[in-house]
Amino acid sequence: MNDLQHAIAGSADAQQSYLADQVNLFLFDLKNEAIEHGFKAGETWVLQLVTEQEITDLKRQHHPVVLARLRQQALLPAYLQVKCKLQQSLSSVDLALTADDVERDNKKHLAAYPERNIRG
């Protein structure tokens, strides 16, 4: 391997490590919130990719809301990995989503809120 190949491989390894760390941290936060708010067996998190503006609406309608601001290139892979680790099936919309869609729609955060807690 030449120096360029080493740099590219190192960069890819760093991105994978960043992604894994962010996914694990987000799952840790979800677990803590579930314990703190008394989740019962079978209660689930709704996951969404959201813009800065959508966060305010989510916080008005749901409690708690767990957020993670991620690098643009990590947002979609993190979303898909969290869904898989939570054993949530991927919808056709999830499967069709691309990094270009995320960037075009100005999505910046991975958000989760419990399905049961809707503020009235």
When pLDDT is averaged across residues 42-52 and rounded to a whole number, the result is 93
The pLDDT value recorded for residue 33 is 94
Model-wide pTM > 0.75 = yes
Q: Kindly tell me if the per-residue pLDDT of 35 is higher than 80.
A: yes
Q: pLDDT-based confidence at 9, cuts 50/70/90?
A: low
Q: Kindly tell me if the per-residue pLDDT of 4 is higher than 80.
A: no
Distance, in Å, from the CA atom of 85 to the CA atom of 81, rounded to the nearest integer, reads 6
Phi, psi of 113 (to 5 degrees): -145, 155
The pLDDT value recorded for residue 3 is 55
Mean pLDDT of the chain: 87
Q: For the segment 74-114, what is each residue's pLDDT rounded down to a tens digit?
A: 999 999 999 999 999 999 999 999 999 999 999 999 999 99
For residues 109 and 68, the answer to whether their CB atoms sit within 8 Å is yes
Distance of CA 19 to the CA centre of its chain: 10
The pLDDT value recorded for residue 115 is 85
Which carries the bigger pLDDT value, residue 68 or residue 16?
68
